[in-house]
Amino acid sequence: KQAEDITLKVFTLPLRHESPERYFRDYAFAAAVFYSNPHYQNEVIEWCEEALRQAQLCKNTSGEQWVSAMLGNLYKRNGRLNQALELLLQSKETAQAKHDDLGVLNSLHALIDLFLYWDVPEYANLCASQAIEAESNMSVKNPGISAQTFINKGRALQQLGEKDSILYYTEKARALCQTLPYNSGMVDVDLLHGSYLTDLGGDSLQVGIQKLQQVATQGTVTNRAKAYHQLAQSYLKTRQNKLAETMLDSMYALLSVEASPIHIHINHEPIVNHYLKTKQHDKAEQHIALMLQEQQSLKEKRLNFNLVEAIVEQQTAQKRQELKIVQLEKSNQRLWFLIYVGLSLAFIALIVVFLLHQRKQHKLQMKQADEKLDILQQQLQQSNAEKELISQEFDDIMNNKDHRQELESLTPSVLQTNGESKFRQRFELLYPLFLPRLRECVPSITRREELLSMLIVLKQDNKDIAELLAIAPRSVLMLRHRFRQKIGLSAELSLESFIENCLKPSNNN
C-alpha cells in the first residue's frame, strides 16, 4: 500500500529533465507495483503500453522484453488473448534478434501458460521443447529458469496425456529447485508430481495424495485450487465421496475469494456423475451449467481471437523461410549439375579426338590394354591378400582383451552422441551373433527390449540405462519386469544370466 501511494505521488511531481529513458523507467516501475492490484488493471495495461512506446525512442533500454512479457500476461488475465498472443510472439522474436536467451525463455514460458489456458497443449508442448533447446544453449545457466522450463514441459505432457516422460522432467526440475534458496519452486514440482502419481493410480496414489495435501497448505492460491481439484478427482476414483466434496468446496472457495478471476482446468464429467449417482441434482445442474459455460467460452475464445490463424501464420512464415532455403539449395544443385554436364561434354570431346588420332595404332593399344589387364589382375591378387591380412588383424583385435575392453568402454556413449543406428552398428561389430540368438529365443522382442539387453551386456546399471534412454529409473524397472515375463524367467534365474547365455558360442536356451 505504501509503495502504491508513493508511486501515485511520483506521477504528480514535475519532471525537469524529460527523456524517454526516464518515462520508460517510471511507467514500467508503476506497472510492476500495481501489477497484482485488481482495481488498477486497466491503468497497469496503459502504463505498460506507454512504457513500450517510450522504449522505441530510447537509445539504451534495459527491461523492454520484461515489460512485454508482463503486458502479455495482463492481456491474458483480462481476456484480451489475441493481443497477448501477438505481443508474446513479438517479444520472442525481438529477444531472438538481440540474442537474449533469457528473454526468449521468458517469452516461451508465457506462451506455454497461454496455450495451456487456451486448452491447446500441442502448441504448449512445442514451445516447451523450444524452451529446453534454448536453455541448453545458454552459456550461463539459471537454475530457477531451467527448473521452470522442465516444469512447463511436464505440464504440457500431462495435459496431452503423455505420461511416459513426465517423471523424468519432474525429477530434473526437483534437482534444480533443491539448489535454490528456500527450495524455491518446489511447490510447483510437488503439484506436478502429485498430479502425475494420482493419475498413475495403484501404489502411487497415496504418495500423490500426500504431495497434493502439502501443496494445498503451502502453495499460491492458483496452485492450492489445482491441488484441491486433483485431490477431489482422486477421492472420487477411490469412492471417498465425502472427502471429494470437501475438496471441491475448498477449491470453489479459493476461486471465488480472489477479486481478480482465477481460471483452472476442471474435469467436470466425474463430478457430475458423482452428484447424479448421489441424487444431488441441484449441484449436478450447477456443474453441467459450468461445463457448458466453459465449453462455450473456449469456443468463443478460439473464434474471436483467431488462435488457429495466428499459429498458422507463424508456422507459414517459418515454412516460407524453409522453402527459400530449399530453393537456394536447388539452385545451387542445378548450377553444379550444369557445370558437371559441361565438363563431361568437354571430356568426351577430348576422348573422341584422342580415339580418332590413335585409330591407326589400334593394335598397339590392344597390346597395351592386355598389359594393363595383367597389371590389374596382379593388383587384384595383391588387394585380396591385403584384405585377408586386414581380416586377420581385425580377428586379432577382436580376440585381444585389451582392445575389446577399449571398444566396449566407448560403446554406451555412442547411443547419446551418434544415435541408435550407430550404436547398433558398433554393438553388432563387437557381438555379431548376440542379437540373432536373442531374437531366436524371444521372437516377439521389441526394439526397446533389445536396447535394454545390449546395455546390460555392456554392464550398465539401471541408473545408466535410464539416462541413456531418457526415461525414469522406475520405467527401467517396469521394462525389465515385462521382459522377464515375456521370456518366462523363474524367480531364481536373473535377466543378466539369461543374456549371458545368449553371448555363449552355443545357445542352450
SS (H, E, C) 461-509: CHHHHHHHHCCCHHHHHHHHHHHHHHHCCCCCCCHHHHHHHHHCCCCCC
| Whole-number pLDDT of residue 297 | 65
| Whole-number pLDDT of residue 506 | 56
151: nearest Cα among 115, 103, 114, 186: 186
Distance (Å, whole) CA 44 – CA 42: 5
Q: What is the pLDDT of residues 132-188, one digit of tens each?
A: 998 888 877 888 888 999 999 999 998 888 888 899 999 999 998 888 887 778 889
The three cell numbers of residue 145 are 529458469
- The length of the chain is 509
Distance (Å, whole) CA 382 – CA 374: 12
| Whole-number pLDDT of residue 150 | 92
| Whole-number pLDDT of residue 305 | 47
The three cell numbers of residue 322 are 524453409
238: nearest Cα among 202, 264, 213, 273: 202
Q: Going by C-beta distance under 8 Å and a sequence separation of 6 or more, which residues neighbour residue 247? A: 228, 229, 231, 232, 235
What are the pLDDT tens digits along the chain (509 aa)?
Answer: 788 888 888 777 777 777 888 888 888 889 888 888 888 888 899 999 998 898 888 876 677 777 888 888 888 777 777 888 888 888 888 888 878 888 888 889 888 988 887 778 888 899 999 999 988 888 778 888 889 999 999 999 988 888 888 999 999 999 988 888 877 788 899 999 999 999 888 888 899 999 999 988 887 888 888 999 999 999 988 889 899 989 988 888 887 765 555 677 788 888 888 888 888 888 888 878 877 877 776 666 555 545 545 555 665 566 577 777 877 887 788 888 888 888 888 888 888 888 888 888 878 877 887 788 778 778 777 767 655 664 565 455 555 555 555 455 545 676 777 788 888 888 888 888 889 999 999 999 999 999 989 899 888 888 888 888 888 989 989 999 999 999 888 888 888 889 888 887 654 44
The single-letter DSSP state of residue 392 is: H
Q: 401 burial class (0-12, 13-18, 19+ CB within 10 angstroms)?
A: exposed
Q: What is the pLDDT of residues 316-345, one digit of tens each?
A: 566 577 777 877 887 788 888 888 888 888
Domain extent listing, the chain? 2-133+143-310, 402-503
φ, ψ for residue 68, nearest 5 deg: -60, -45
215: amino acid identity, one letter: V
Number of helical H runs and strand E runs in the chain:
24, 0
Distance (Å, whole) CA 94 – CA 112: 18
The three cell numbers of residue 431 are 557381438
Q: 407 burial class (0-12, 13-18, 19+ CB within 10 angstroms)?
A: middle
172: amino acid identity, one letter: K
Widest distance between CA atoms in the chain: 110
Distance (Å, whole) CA 201 – CA 91: 41
- Is residue 73 within 8 Å of 51, Cβ to Cβ? no
Distance (Å, whole) CA 331 – CA 407: 43
For residue 170, give Cα distances in angstroms to 55, 162, 165, 241, 278: 38, 14, 9, 30, 37
State which fold the 2-133+143-310 domain adopts: 1.25.40
Which helix (H) or strand (E) segment holds residue 370: the answer is helix 362-399
pTM score: 0.54
